[in-house]
With several copies, the nearest count.
Chain A
Amino acid sequence: MATLTMVQAIARTLAEEMERDERVVVLGEDVGKRGGVFLATEGLLDRFGPDRVIDTPLSEAAIIGAAVGMAAHGLRPVAEIQFADYVFPGFDQLATQAAKLRYRSGGQFMAPMVVRMPSGGGVRGGHHHSQSPEAHFAHTAGLKVVVVSTPYDAKGLLKAAIRDDDPVVFLEPKRLYRATREEVPDDDYLVPIGKAAVRREGTDLTIIGYGTSMPEVLKAGEELARAGVSAEILDLRSLVPWDIEAVTRSVAKTGRVVLVADAPRLSGVLGEIAATIAEELFDQMLAPPVRVAGFDTPYPYAQDKLYLPTVTRILNAAKQVLEY
């Protein structure tokens, strides 16, 4: 058992999976000698060689699209998009090729691939090193979508994603890459896609979050506890499929919910979950579901920290639902 940061856990997991299954290959910009700009692929080139660790030209369409072809042909590619913001030049390959291949071929072909990408803000990255584009993936039928927030989950979910027979978009909040260390077991465990984690049990309200904003969510939970309020905290971890059971179980119990994530609010994933809660738990709700999302601006540079849901903003929302 090692104590690892999230990015270390990811690098180890990639190595383990490549060791386990020779069909697993890694491709992307700077994944070779550089080991990835965040070092998520550090050491892989030396260990597995240039046939399985491929530095690609600077084209996200080529990366994602090639991964589709590799996967259809029998490999298990893990593609890295250097920053989630740069997925858009390759978005058609995800939406048109990866997401629809199984369906359009009547199940004849499949694209078992993972597209990893550092996402989210809080690192003074401005417009193009801060975005959280998960809603675009969640709205694209045929993709599974995972957003991790701990080293332990990063390992277990990445393994699950690599072994999944469908294309999985795997978002890694870059702000959390080195934010904390955690004990990560050496053994070959999986965290199933589609299951939320209860990060704190509680009875007065539910706070649902994922990814980049989890530290603030947890801090808000602690502050509430100090104020005598018992918050149940869920980390969604998977957005497609999302864990409706865990969510409804908790919200049915507490009757109050705050949803938190840093992606823009309009037509985001939180809207989906809030709307579903409103539809399913109408009678059990003691207050309206309140969302604390990113602002509907391009991600700013100077106000980097203010863009993200702050603890204050989460607490204000909690107050709102508690005092409703």
Chain B
Amino acid sequence: MVHETLPVMGTEWFQPFTEQPIALLSEEGEWIGDFPLDLDEALLRQLYRDMLAVRLMDERFTVLLRTGKVSFTAPMAGHEAAQVGVAHALRRGHDWVFPYYRDYGLALALGVPLVEIFGQMIATRADPNKGRQMPCHPSSRPLNIFAAASTVASHIPPATGAALSMKIQGTGQVAVCTFGDGATSEGDWYAAINFAAVQRVPAVFVCENNRYAISVPYSCQTATPTIAEKAHAFGIPGYHVDGMDVLASYYVAREAIERARAGHGPSLVELVVYRYGPHSSADDDTRYRPREEVELWRRRDPLARYQRFLARRGLWSEEWEQQLREEIAREQAEAIEAAERAGEVPAEWMFDDVYAEPLWHLERQRALLRAELQ
């Protein structure tokens, strides 16, 4: 379990409910924050490495899809800065994370072993979840990553509950819950955050707002200019943040998390991002998204912007990039191999873990299948 010690903040740097998204880096990669950057070089470079690893993993997923090894992917390119920023803002293995299906970048940056990630994607024995779910459903007990469910927004009430338990038990933990813009339309989203606000639980609700829910554009999703301002419905702060800016994502999340940890209650953090790929491998986004729009956002690539930032500080070079890419490629290739080597999930695992102990009707069904397979 990884425990990071985060710098303790003296002040609150960010204003909720801004019209313009909070950014700390200009498109050219200049630091435009009005407070001192307090991160060491190792972390600054790690953020880049993680983003790059996520981008490359996304590409891997597509390859695995093409070769028929995985049945489905939920592209995360464009979400890297948001996911990596948040991952580093929390105490890994201590705080809890409630991710959704687009969050394998978050999982990676939280330290989920690659072999587990690919094991889950391919559904082999390397998957700690025993091949029970579709690809793109992160979960890790040791890292306190609550098993994602496909049902949009269904994890928000459990996040509130876990945070309430943290408060009751005084564990000093925080629950960080991520979701898309579409998720904010579900009743459970609202009901759960309302409860969290009443109880002032240590939770941070993070929206990766890519302005589409599959094909449904933001304008059909809600009439509020921002997601952040929905926080008014709960009486909690809502931060409108440039989610293509890894430092803005990191710092706002960190402040929100530490506020929560200090007992000041939950907040809502909106990270404005863009998904470069289709919604999923089953989607055709040309039906609903103009190519110019995609191009426009491609020019705002979160990796490129952060690369410029690092380069300005002498923390990035072509060489390092090359080296990183090779390392990452190797790690991922090895992980895929190891995941495949672990072998297929046995048929009978289907009947385990429905309950803590086996019930008679399931044992009968297990026997029926066993007979059939013999």
Contacts and interface: CB of A to CB of B under 8 A. Distances in A.
Which 7 residue pairs of A and B lie closest in terms of their CB atoms, listed nearest first?
A65-B157, A69-B161, A302-B131, A66-B161, A34-B215, A69-B158, A106-B130
14 contacts: A56-B216, A65-B160, A69-B146, A69-B158, A69-B165, A69-B175, A72-B146, A101-B147, A104-B129, A104-B149, A105-B132, A106-B132, A108-B139, A240-B359
Interface stretch (A25-33, A178-186, A207-215): A25-33
Contacts of B134: 124-129, 301
Contacts of B152: 58, 86
- Residue from the set B192, B213, B371 with the largest chain A CB neighbour count within 10 Å: B192
B185 A59 contact: yes
A322 interface: no
Nearest to A77: B161
A156 to B, nearest CB: 19
Contacts of B347: 303, 306
Given A55-B216, A296-B362, A105 B147 contact: yes
B66 interface: no
A96 B149 contact: yes
Contacts of B260: none
A25 B167 CA distance: 13
A310 B372 CA distance: 9
A163 to B, nearest CB: 11
How many of chain A's residues touch chain B, expressed as a range? 35 or more
Given A75-B165, A106-B353, A310-B372, A66 B216 contact: no
A147 B79 CA distance: 39
Looking at B146, B194, B221, the one whose CB has the most chain A CB atoms below 10 A away is B146
Interface in A57-98: 57-59, 61-62, 64-75, 77, 85-86, 88-89, 92-93, 96-97
A57 B194 contact: yes
Contacts of B311: none
B353 A32 contact: no
A69 B150 contact: no
B161 A67 contact: yes
Contact of A295 (B147, B149, B215, B351): B351
Given A61-B188, A266-B361, A312-B372, A55 B215 contact: yes
B131 A300 contact: yes
Interface in B155-189: 155-169, 175, 182-183, 185-188
A107 B282 CA distance: 29
A33 B359 CA distance: 39
Interface in B95-150: 96, 123, 127-134, 137, 139-141, 146-147, 149-150
A121 B130 CA distance: 19
Contacts of B27: none
Contacts of A70: 161-162, 164-165, 168
A313 interface: yes
A110 B131 CA distance: 17
Contacts of A110: 356
Interface residues of B, number: 83
B13 interface: no
A159 interface: no
Nearest to A125: B134
A307 B150 CA distance: 19
A316 B186 CA distance: 44
A69 B130 contact: no
Nearest to B356: A165
A54 B216 CA distance: 10
A307 B159 CA distance: 31
B157 A93 contact: yes
A233 to B, nearest CB: 21
Considering residues B140, B166, B359, which has the most beta carbons from chain A within 10 angstroms of its beta carbon? B359
A87 to B, nearest CB: 10
Given A58-B152, A69-B160, A92 B188 contact: yes
Contacts of B132: 103-106, 126-127, 298, 300-302
B355 interface: yes
A283 interface: no
Nearest to A143: B355
Interface in B324-352: 344-345, 347, 349-352
A307 to B, nearest CB: 7
A275 interface: no
A105 B147 CA distance: 6
Contacts of B167: 51
A144 B195 contact: no
A41 to B, nearest CB: 11
A29 B152 CA distance: 12
Q: Which of A37, A73, A126, A303 gathers most chain B CB within 10 Å? A: A73
A253 interface: no
Contacts of B18: none
Contact of B188 (A29, A93, A194): A93
A79 B282 CA distance: 22
